[in-house]
Amino acid sequence: MGRGQAILKTEEEVALIRKSCMLVSQTLGILKQYVIPGVTTLKLDSIAEAFIRDNGGVPAFLNYQPIPEMTPFPNTLCISINEEVVHGMPSKSRVLQEGDIVSLDCGVLMNGYFGDSAYTFPVGIISSKKQKLLEVTKRSLYKGVEKAIEGNFVGDIGNAIQTYVESYGFSVVREMVGHGLGKSLHEAPEVPNYGRKKTGMKLPSGLVIAIEPMINAGRKNIKTAEDDWTIYATDRQPSAHFEHTIVVRKDKAEILTTFDFIEKV
């Protein structure tokens, strides 16, 4: 994921990516009202797929196959509950429960360009520990975005995220990282959520990347479930995931996705 040469985007390409990102953001906004106790994860998935297709997009994750030996991903959304970090598979047997936290990760392909975003929702009333994890993880995303400006380095993004979340006693997943995107869902560079300042690729204007902290309440260690996709925290402590697609600019990153559709009153 994210290997090879980074591809800078023209303003015309950024405009197309922005449209895909808007549809992703609207999809997550639509889903908010359905994130309630008793709903199946497959129900959320079917709502997302219908909305994306009705608005001229194609689900980016559906049948995605990063390497030939992996089973293609069978769904529109990655839905990861509690200790699941990312890439959870929707099913009709998986039902949201009061007190869960659930990450909805959504990608869209439209006009030849991808958009990608994720948000971790509370299901009903959640514990104070989970609430703090959500707040810190989301804030860490914006700490990373602040560093995504021309002349900084990929390591500056990861360092900002890592420093912030570790100050609260949480841990950064190492194996799963953010990425460039455009005509491909995963392009160079990889964007880790940890690292040292002034290391990695120097950030140029016009670079489009997805920044996506995946933060565990307990230890950083993860495992892959038997389904080949679902990644979970080995200590079974909760995990949170927030993601924006952004474009690097000279003085301030431009965020192409938005949480406004989710968070509007």
> pLDDT per residue over 3-40, tens digit each?
578 999 999 999 999 999 999 999 999 999 999 999 99
Sign of CA dihedral 261, 136, 129, 116: positive
115 within 8 A of 26, measured Cβ to Cβ: no
pLDDT tens digits for range 55-66: 999 999 999 998
Which tokens belong to 236?
């079974």
Supply the pLDDT for residue 4: 76
Strand-pairing partners, residue 79, are 104
> Which residue stretches of the chain have pLDDT < 70?
1-3, 265
| CATH number belonging to domain 11-263 | 3.90.230.10
Domain layout of the chain by residue ranges: 11-263
CA distances from 255 to 9, 56, 69, 131, 205 (A): 15, 22, 34, 24, 13
